[in-house]
Chain A
Amino acid sequence: MIAFQGVSKIYNHTSPALEDATFEVKQGEFVSLAGRSGAGKSTIIKLLIGEEKPSRGRIFFGQYEVNKLRSGELPHFRRHIGVVFQDFRLLPTKTAYENIAFALEVAGRTQREINELVPQVLDMVGLSDKGNNFPHELSGGEKQRVAIARAMIHRPEVIIADEPTGNLDPFHTAEIVKLLEKINELGTTVVLATHDKEIINDLERRVITLDRGRVIRDDEKGKYILV
């Protein structure tokens, strides 16, 4: 469902952000992208959601060839994906409820659906009582759960999480990873970028390891191994 074919991204020539990356992700998989900061994890994610264009190579997502999408086509394409970021990226002027509803509103869903779905998802991430709070009134873990709720509410085919636990303590980290596993069990593909060794070792899922812009390992039941 996702395929990178010889993808490179070069910002400056002395150290490419990503070099000749080739891999595939099948529907329903839970894939971790492992590696140090600067290894190329975020670059892969930016390329995958069309925020950046590759210098070389092709990127496929379902029927889309992402590297060829024009900026006017990106919004529609992105409704197939749910993205979770390290810094949460919630809209500060919207409440938790409105942030989640926003993903449905942009997709043109009816108010009736929104009224029905948002409380369900809020319940699923355990924030039923925080719907009317603004992001600055929530803790880090709560913000990230709102972000995940927003990422999953429109039932995307893939959830992409870029260091979702980077700003969280170990307790909330475990909580978020559990939530991602639960979403994966419901059939959604999950791509998780992290440098957290424990997360990867506990997951016992497929791990693509990156180092200095190159894919150095791709293990079916991976461990966090860096040479």
Chain B
Amino acid sequence: MFTIIFRILKFGVKGFRRNGWLSTATVAITTLALMVFVGLILFGVITRQAVVSIQDKIDISVYFKNNTSEDQILSIKQSLENLSEVKNVNYVSSDKALELFKNTHKNDQVISQAINELNANPFQASLSIKAQRPEQYATIARYLGAPNLSSFIDNVSYAKNQVVIDRLARIIENVNRVGFTLTLLLSLIAGLVVFNTIRLAIYSNREEIGIMRVVGASNALVRGPYMVEGTISGAIAAAASLIVMIPAVYFASPYLSVFIPGLELSRYFMGNLASLLGYQLVFGVGIGALSSFIAVRRYLKN
């Protein structure tokens, strides 16, 4: 048993070396397929970050009538925070709103003067609410529309922004769905390309397989070395694909940060290099060994 395993490994390694060109081609194709694979992982990271940064910008604000007391507003805030859909609620008092406004426009003489000439504070107290997921704003808006609350509320920004929020929610949902489908589809294509390459490589070895059979080699001894070769190809390709990706990621990372705030692709890439290599190895070695296993089967019949 031990000798057989040792011989399978030995034949596999020797075969990989001596089939130089064929091995190189297989490694190259597998590398390309794995680059697609790692590209999909990075694409997922990018879209996730993009979605997060868009979601961060969406909120609805509730403006209260001037006669509403702070206690009442705080108790509404409390009740909103108890909703499962609500992620956080931020209270901005009318004084705070004025201060913020002044701060923003402190370099603009005309506005500053206009504000100072007013005796009363024109700003309303407000709550800005963030939902867990964008499609939940409708529910929150409905909650705010209840008769017991509506007497305090002057207006809710959701009504104005509803179209935009709904559209963003749909886009985000679609990006996620398309991303998932695309990942599945491209992984499948990459897998099939590798499978076919290995099948061709083994097809060109069909006579050798026939010879091994005639000499009395067991199925394991015929198949094993090809699976070892597939494993080696997959492992080399896994490492190669990441090495090729490193400069590409470094180059693209600053440009992506401009579009998507908070995204640092190169940091993500280097930080997760080990687990990425793990994925690549699982995928590369898996597809290499499995393809060899299946491709040899048809030549083991007689």
Contacts and interface: CB of A to CB of B under 8 A. Distances in A.
A176 B214 CA distance: 20
Interface stretch (A35-43, A68-76, A182-190, A206-214): A68-76
Interface stretch (A25-33, A55-63, A101-109, A215-223): A101-109
B300 interface: yes
B214 A49 contact: yes
A74 B217 contact: no
B302 interface: yes
A93 B3 CA distance: 21
B160 interface: no
A8 B209 CA distance: 27
A93 B18 contact: yes
Contact of B302 (A50, A105, A110, A111): A50
A72 B219 contact: yes
Given A93-B18, A93-B19, A106-B218, A52 B212 contact: no
Contacts of A106: 212, 215-218, 221
B208 interface: yes
A102 B214 contact: no
B186 interface: no
A89 interface: yes
B211 interface: yes
A75 B211 CA distance: 11
B15 interface: yes
A150 B208 contact: no
Contacts of A102: 212, 215, 217
B206 interface: no
A51 interface: yes
Contact of B207 (A76, A89, A105): A89
B217 to A, nearest CB: 4
B7 interface: yes
The interface residues of chain A, by DSSP majority, are classed as: loop
Given A91-B208, A110-B3, A75 B216 contact: yes
B216 A91 contact: no
A89 B4 CA distance: 23
A136 interface: no
Interface in B193-218: 207-208, 210-218
Nearest to B217: A106
Contacts of A154: 216
Interface size class of B (residues with CB under 8 A): 20 to 34
A74 B213 contact: yes
A179 B110 CA distance: 113
A106 B216 CA distance: 7
Contacts of B300: 71
B301 interface: yes
Nearest to B3: A108
Contacts of A79: 216
A158 to B, nearest CB: 13
A35 B227 CA distance: 43
Nearest to B14: A93
Nearest to A103: B215
A197 interface: no
A178 interface: no
Contacts of A52: 302
B216 A71 contact: no
Nearest to A46: B302
Given A75-B217, A83-B214, A103-B216, A93 B302 contact: no
Nearest to A160: B214
B219 A92 contact: no
Interface in A72-123: 72, 74-79, 81, 83, 89-93, 102-103, 105-108, 110-111
Contacts of A110: 3
A105 B211 contact: no
Contacts of A83: 214-215
11 contacts: A51-B214, A71-B300, A75-B216, A75-B217, A75-B219, A83-B215, A90-B211, A91-B211, A93-B15, A106-B218, A107-B216
Given A52-B302, A150-B215, 10 more contacts: A71-B300, A71-B302, A72-B219, A74-B213, A75-B217, A76-B218, A79-B216, A90-B211, A102-B215, A111-B3
